[in-house]
Structure 1
Amino acid sequence: MSTLDMPARTGFSLLKRAALALALLAPATAWAAESTAVTSPRVVATLLSSRDAVAPGERFHLALTQKITSGWHTYWRNPGDSGEPTKIDWQLPEGASAGPIQWPAPKAIAFEPLVNFGFDGTVLLPVEISVPADAKPGERFAITAKATWLVCEKICIPEEGVLSLDLPIAAEPVIDSAAQARIERTLAGLPQEAPFRAKLTANGPDKMTLAIPELPAGISDLRYFPLSDTLIEHAAAQPGEGGTLILSRSSAFRISEPSVEGVITYSQGGTKRALALSADVAPDLLAQASAPPAPPAAVTLPTLPAPPAEDLTIWVALAFAFAGGLILNLMPCVLPVLFIKALGFAQSAQASRSEVRVHGLLFLAGVVGTFMVLAGLAIALGAGWGFQLQSPPLVILLAVLMSLIGFNLLGAFEIGGKVQGIGDGLASRSGPVGAFMTGALAVVVATPCTAPFMGAAMGYALTQPPSAALSIFLALALGFALPVVALSFAPGLQRLLPKPGPWMVVLKQAFAFPMFATAIWLVWVATMQTGANGALAALIAILVAGFAVWLLGVTRRRAIALRIVAAGAAALFVTATAAFVIESAVPPKQLPASAGASDVWSPERVAELQAQGKPVFVNFTAAWCITCLANERVALSRQDVKDAFAALGVVYLKADWTNRNATIAAALADHGRAGVPLYLVYPGSKGAQAEVLPQLLTTDIVIRAAERAAGREVQTARNP
């Protein structure tokens, strides 16, 4: 090349680089070596790239970074005594691939009496990404990582985030120096493959010796982290000196290969070091590991107070149903409607005895008729108690009805004719139609609750012929209606009611607020069933129903033509809204995961955990079940219960029946239940049968059951 050509070539090279830079800068999305953060009060997660632009055929590193709040931690690939490792689900362009997480060395994090293996502070989890050779410069390399992790302090919270990067593809890679330096420091600190092999031998019936050759002299804080969670007791001390450690065998001790993998960490001259270690297993130890485990010690469980459904007789079931119906009046889901009936009795206190008795009998007819309709449908469809609240449109309809009753009690509208006989009678009068409809409405809103004795009776009913099943539901209805009917037939009790007066207007308005509270709860149930669409559909339905009723009310004394137009407009609005609700209130294929510290129940999951020797607590629940929610607040979410579960190694599973689920319905039927709640506690031995807990829980009931399942007691401060 001549010297005359050099300036031209240099200028051409500069132009070429400038053109490449302009081409790369052209997209609207600016280069970014780090994704937008996913933030919670516990973890700030980002996706960090060592490249600002990638080249065809190259391999480069990304890293999931987790900045963890002080006192909290996430988990290594073997989490230790409890926990779950971080997982990443990648979505990459066609032809691209992602390698496994390259795990840094963990720390032993004590949580007496457990020890977990994980990370605190800030941790980077590198992953190698391969760019396809046929990637075209000028196009984009879109990366999406759905990461899930468990972060724990005294409680554990599963978290997740979707992290995205959109990198340009260029002829040559563009390195982000700062990001690459961070990732390279992490890669340099990863456990390096040890240039030697260790030896694992038996040391008595419950100990092992790990002999590690060629370790330098003067090391301290030597610790072994196995990849298998069935090798050692993670919380046990690891005494030893030099290159030898004494390890305690796991209670679920198992080795399936002639070598085991793990990581050792140690300090040398004040510097923390880590090695990836392979250890050969001595033949005698391998033979012991393959021997069948000794049967677990027998655990004596107390005699359960309530017989399962298959042990009931028809007479016991009838008695249980009547008692359950009577107690159902005290459940929180029924109280708002009974407030209305109480107001009706106060208003009719001065009426004739015969009129009051007729109203009591009509209330009974409303209760019995509605119970029989629901029972007939449950038997015909093979569904459980409360099945109608698994229908989001019906839940929204009930929310609308409760809202309208509340507005009517406040005096927001009054409409005449037959509609008034139903709506106003429900809300503020004791007329015949109102008495019947109050009974029907009380049954409908009672279905989210299951009272003591009631669950076993209904479970028995749904296994019997229709005639026997209906008789049990009839007993339930009679028990439910008894207090109101007894009051209507007891003149002495009626005379105790105060005389009608101005106070009733204030009381009537006050009763509106329990109705609004019920409506809010029903909107929340719809949201849990269908997501944000359910809440939007419910609120629009309440708005349109209120407008339609108001429109009918303000035109009821107008000209007939105006009333017809108003009625047509109201019908049109309501019909259009009903179509929108039915279309919108559809359960999504996959609801968002709950933020609770529970795993999802399945029969296979229970069997898997029992095979691992872990006790299991299963909570069969639903968002529309008031009893379930009360038990979660009063007992299951209490810190002493969580501490006891952690200390005893109890795994908490949740079976959510908010939407229809045939597997959950079958499990309820297997345990003699037609509805939720149902609480099962399985001992930590393969195939052991569950203990069924009462339907109303306390912290002491739950902790004692967990102790029986684990075969030992736990010392924990208990709330009264």
Structure 2
Amino acid sequence: MIRLWLLILLVFGLAAEPSRAQPAGELRMRADLVAQTRTVAPGGLAWIALRQRLEPGWHTYWLNPGDAGGPTEISWAPVPGAEIGPIQWPRPRRLLVQAYMNHVYEGEVLLPIPVQVSPDLRPGDVLRLRATTTAFVCSDTLCVPQTDEVSLDIPVSDETPRLTSHGAAVGAAIEALPTSPALQATHGAQGDRVRLSIAGPAVVEALGQARPRVWFFAEQPGRIDHAAVQDVQSGPQGVTLTLKPGNGPQPDQPLSGLLTIGDRAFQVTARPGEALPGARGRILTPAPLDDTGQGAEGDLGLWKALLFAFLGGVILNLMPCVFPILSMKAAALTALAQDPTAARRDGVAFLAGVMVSFLALAGALIAARAGGQAVGWGFQLQSPAFTGALALVMLAAGLNLAGLYHMGASAPRIGSFGPLRRLGGAGGAFLTGVLAVLLAAPCTGPFMAAAVGFGLTLPAAQALAVFAALGLGFGLPFVAAAFSPGLIRRLPRPGPWMERLRRILAIPMFATALWLAWVFLRQGGWPAAMALLLAAMALAAALVVYGRAQLRLLDSRPARPLLIGAWAGLLAAVILVGVAVQAARGASRPAPAAAFSEAAVAAAQSQGKVVFVNATADWCLTCKVNEAGALAAPAVRRALADPGVVYLEADWTRRDPTIGAYLARHGRSGVPVYLVYGPQASEPVLLPQLLTEDTVLEALRSARPGSSASSR
């Protein structure tokens, strides 16, 4: 209200004369009345419209104008023989100017008005309509109150009415008005937010559109913060929005307004009450703050998303998360140096393993989000059980490459030891592809982050297509190498050097196992990590004993006691892993010293400070590379320690639905994500996944008050 009164005082200071006294050339809007039909019938309902024709760059306002401005008002002279209804407000568009949200109309606007004609009128009479209209006509920098005298004469006739030259446009405006279907709607407090639940068949039908954008326009000023992102969940029976309350009083009274879903709009009156069943579930990407598309989501098309996903998959091969698996790819290629046919077969099998794994992870992620969970890419490593199991798998792979046991040595004689039988050829290549995806999934990189974030807002079939393109890009380099005869011929012939190379390539496997064990420690604490360490020792002992059994069987010596010992060690490892996982589930993870919350962001901004948000996770190697590189640079550390800058860490090592929803609002589904807020910025600047020292320093510098970037 303070902003509104200041704006009104400014307007009247700038425009002491009413607009009708201005020369015609200075008017930014033309207003008149138009009718749908040439005549009206006695006792019938007629429609007219107040037409506003605005110059480009100028606008008028909806019933609730938002953070500034005022709605169009119309004052009628007495009309004998008719009762004139109120303006029927069309759906407005959102216009964000600096940090202020406006609900506006632009171009040519038709505001429909119903007219009930008295049955006392007779054919030959004339319905004479006279009115004075007042509107705020505004641009991004200037507001002018404009008053117009408008009139319209409509003959009364008992003949079938015919449309005027404006009749079709008026009819279309009436047809496009928000509808009032049978809906259930409740609202209530949800922490420091306002929860709005709306259910009904019409809402469910509207939600069936591809990527529906959902927004609620409150009719009562001050009830919600118009310029805040609105979080949205859809369910089988409706939709739930989480809104930021406004600065005005929050009475325990109905909350009325306009719910827009895609191209549909509904009049809603929500009464205080509990959340409606069936109105939650799938987390939808919030609508951008501005109808020009400048907001939280961005606007990738499907084909662009497919291209970005493919390029992101190719680049993913170069990300730090994938380095350990490169050794397995190199070993596979060198082993097939003199067998191009087998190389091509294994290349296709590797790609199949990659594609199946990407689609399986994507399906699980889509299903979890449809169930209302705020999960993102790399979600499997948020589970201590998965992290611990993968650490042991990498340990087993390293021991195999080191030669301490062999998959399939003397296979005919130890074939009964099925779980450790070698899966050579295509089977081994397929599993290598699976393992490569499991290790690569924690990473996001250039192009990939936007494509994955966009893909999760699409219907399931289109989302899976985006992830399939990502998998194709990830697997293509290895397949291209496998199908390249020139490259295969240049590889040296098999020999003793391959055994030495295998043992060297075991080092990245052991390093990966240690990294995963460290992640498990961070997730579950020391008691869980000690149990995992004992499990690793039991597994290593079991595999070494199994390797000795293989050697005895190759020499035709009995090995039953060793095989029994190997099985016993494997069983002990499984039991100890279970103990470790149970301990990790019960552990509480300490919060970072500068823990992220949206309240902390708002508090820092209110103090005029720049905010740097680091969304990270211990299982994200790209995050750690950035933190050890660009973020650890002396100049960056000094900039982040400046009193005018607040550094906040959103730790996503373990599943956190608040952080997941926050990332989704900014079109991201995985980490790393780096965001910089200026003191007055309603939306942050999103930095690239691979940071440089100059990128961070420039973002912090631009966000400071007074810089040109921070005022945009």
TM norm structure 1: 0.53
Correspondence 1:634 to 2:626: no
Q: Which residue of 2 aligns with 1:483?
A: 477
Q: Which residue of 1 aligns with 2:581?
A: 582
* 1:285-684 matches, cutoff 5 A: 309-351=297-339, 353-382=340-369, 383-416=375-408, 417=411, 431-555=425-549, 557=553, 562=561, 565-566=564-565, 568-586=567-585, 588-589=587-588, 591-594=589-592, 599-647=594-642, 649-684=644-679
* Alpha-carbon shift at residue 531 of structure 1 (Å): 1.6
Aligned CA distance change for structure 1 residues 481 and 420 (closer, same or farther; 3 Å):
farther
CA distance in 2, matches of 1:560, 1:644: 65
CA distance in 2, matches of 1:710, 1:343: 51
CA distance in 2, matches of 1:363, 1:669: 31
CA distance in 2, matches of 1:533, 1:368: 37
Q: What secondary structure does 2:320 align onto?
A: coil
CA distance in 2, matches of 1:434, 1:706: 48
Mapped contact 1:552–1:570 kept (Cα < 8 A)? no
CA distance in 1, matches of 2:365, 2:615: 19
Larger mean CA deviation between 574-583 and 701-710 belongs to 574-583
Instruction: Please list the CA deviations of residues 63-111 of structure 1 after superposition, one character each: whole Å capped at 9, or x if unmatched.
Output: xxxxxxxxxxxxxxxxxxxxxxxxxxxxxxxxxxxxxxxxxxxxxxxxx
Mapped contact 2:388–2:577 kept (Cα < 8 A)? no
Mapped contact 1:548–1:570 kept (Cα < 8 A)? yes
Q: Which residue of 2 aligns with 1:688?
A: 682
CA distance in 2, matches of 1:555, 1:425: 15
* Alpha-carbon shift at residue 647 of structure 1 (Å): 4.1
* Alpha-carbon shift at residue 356 of structure 1 (Å): 1.5
Aligned CA distance change for structure 1 residues 601 and 689 (closer, same or farther; 3 Å):
same
CA distance in 2, matches of 1:651, 1:424: 55
Mapped contact 1:422–1:434 kept (Cα < 8 A)? no
Q: What secondary structure does 1:448 align onto?
A: coil
CA distance in 2, matches of 1:479, 1:323: 6
Instruction: Please list the CA deviations of residues 431-480 of structure 1 after superposition, one character each: whole Å capped at 9, or x if unmatched.
Output: 22211111000000111211111111000111111101100000000000
Q: What letter matches 1:673 in structure 2?
A: R
Q: Which residue of 2 aligns with 1:83?
A: none
Q: Which residue of 1 aligns with 2:166?
A: none
Mapped contact 1:366–1:437 kept (Cα < 8 A)? yes
CA distance in 2, matches of 1:451, 1:425: 34
* Alpha-carbon shift at residue 675 of structure 1 (Å): 0.4
CA distance in 2, matches of 1:660, 1:421: 36
CA distance in 2, matches of 1:690, 1:421: 55
Mapped contact 1:322–1:475 kept (Cα < 8 A)? yes
Q: What letter matches 1:350 in structure 2?
A: Q
* 1:262-281 matches, cutoff 5 A: none
CA distance in 1, matches of 2:447, 2:531: 36
Aligned CA distance change for structure 1 residues 360 and 420 (closer, same or farther; 3 Å):
farther
CA distance in 1, matches of 2:366, 2:463: 8
Aligned CA distance change for structure 1 residues 609 and 431 (closer, same or farther; 3 Å):
same
CA distance in 1, matches of 2:457, 2:603: 29
* 1:189-268 matches, cutoff 5 A: none
CA distance in 2, matches of 1:506, 1:674: 41
Instruction: Please list the CA deviations of residues 16-58 of structure 1 after superposition, one character each: whole Å capped at 9, or x if unmatched.
Output: xxxxxxxxxxxxxxxxxxxxxxxxxxxxxxxxxxxxxxxxxxx
Mapped contact 2:549–2:563 kept (Cα < 8 A)? no
* Alpha-carbon shift at residue 575 of structure 1 (Å): 3.4
CA distance in 2, matches of 1:666, 1:705: 24
Q: Which residue of 1 aligns with 2:181?
A: none
* Alpha-carbon shift at residue 425 of structure 1 (Å): 5.7
Percent of residue pairs identical: 47
CA distance in 1, matches of 2:295, 2:571: 53
Q: What letter matches 2:590 in structure 1?
A: P
* Alpha-carbon shift at residue 339 of structure 1 (Å): 1.2
CA distance in 1, matches of 2:406, 2:701: 59
CA distance in 2, matches of 1:338, 1:707: 39
Mapped contact 2:524–2:585 kept (Cα < 8 A)? yes
CA distance in 1, matches of 2:420, 2:476: 24
CA distance in 1, matches of 2:314, 2:624: 21
Q: What secondary structure does 2:648 align onto?
A: strand
Mapped contact 1:621–1:654 kept (Cα < 8 A)? yes
Q: What secondary structure does 1:551 align onto?
A: helix
* Alpha-carbon shift at residue 424 of structure 1 (Å): 8.2
Q: What secondary structure does 1:600 align onto?
A: coil
CA distance in 1, matches of 2:526, 2:514: 14
CA distance in 1, matches of 2:525, 2:585: 9
Q: Which residue of 1 aligns with 2:184?
A: none
* Alpha-carbon shift at residue 499 of structure 1 (Å): 1.8
Runs of 5+ consecutive residues of structure 2 not aligned to the other structure: 1-293, 370-374
Aligned CA distance change for structure 1 residues 709 and 575 (closer, same or farther; 3 Å):
same
For this pair of structures, how many residues does the alignment match? 401
